[in-house]
Amino acid sequence: MKWINKLERKYRRYAISNLMTYIIALNAAVYVINLLIPQSNLYAKLALNPAMILRGEIWRLITFLFLPPSSSPIFIVFVLYFYYLVGSNLEYQWGSFRFNIYYLIGVLSTIAASFISYAITGFGLVSPEHLNLSLFLAFAHLFPYFEVLLFFFIPIKVKYLAWFNWAFIVFALIFRPLPMKLAAIASVVNYFIFFGSDLITTIKLRIQTYKKRKRFREAFKNDRRRH
């Protein structure tokens, strides 16, 4: 992607190294504070709420990234570790700048989905879990045979989990209300920007392979008929 190469040459020095370490640490901190001081109502104060942002609470444009994905003490350790694993491996594969760009596109598309939903329906709360999903899809694309322990003891390749997530996205686009449709779209914008050309190339190669096999089978059948 030439445009990313140009941006990287010009702005590489501004990249945040180990970005996921900070994101995960702040998720953990918010979880602990909310657990110890539940009356703080911290989740509601940090959420991506367009109505409150338009009233001046602009910190929500950033702080929604720090909302932990679960309220279960056991499950949250697994989830935060998993997203640290995903993010750190993506950064190692791409470098800090490209990973920052991928994450930033996901953040901006999530915010856009939230405001569009609010403008149309009056409801604009979008969970950061959709942004985390975009990280996982990129990870599964690059490392499809990486194995994780589902429910802590069932080994499964991430490509199969990615298929499940794609099915979830398609289901949301077809059956869920508009806010969830927009959130589903937001979760794959950065994925298609980064991997869209690869997907198109793969589809073209598969079509060509299918046509070649079809011609071979037809030629083989015709040859058998002549003999």
Q: Nearest Cα to 190, choosing from 132, 143, 146?
A: 132
Q: What is the pLDDT of residue 226?
A: 64
Q: Is the pLDDT of residue 206 over 80?
A: no
Q: Is the pLDDT of residue 209 over 80?
A: no
N- to C-terminal Cα separation, the chain: 53
Q: What is the pLDDT of residue 141?
A: 93
| Extents of the domains making up the chain | 2-198
Q: What is the pLDDT of residue 151?
A: 66
Q: What is the DSSP string of 88-130?
A: HHHHHHH-HHHHHHHHHHHHHHHHHHHHHHHHHHS-----THH
Q: Nearest Cα to 48, choosing from 37, 36, 62?
A: 62
Q: Nearest Cα to 43, choosing from 65, 79, 67?
A: 67
Cα dihedral 87→89→95→101 (10° resolution): -30
Answer whether CATH 3.40.50.2020 is correct for domain 2-198. no
Higher pLDDT, 50 or 129: 50
Higher pLDDT, 202 or 37: 37
| DSSP 8-state assignment for residue 70 | -
Q: What is the pLDDT of residue 64?
A: 94
- Confidence band (pLDDT; 50, 70, 90) for 11? confident
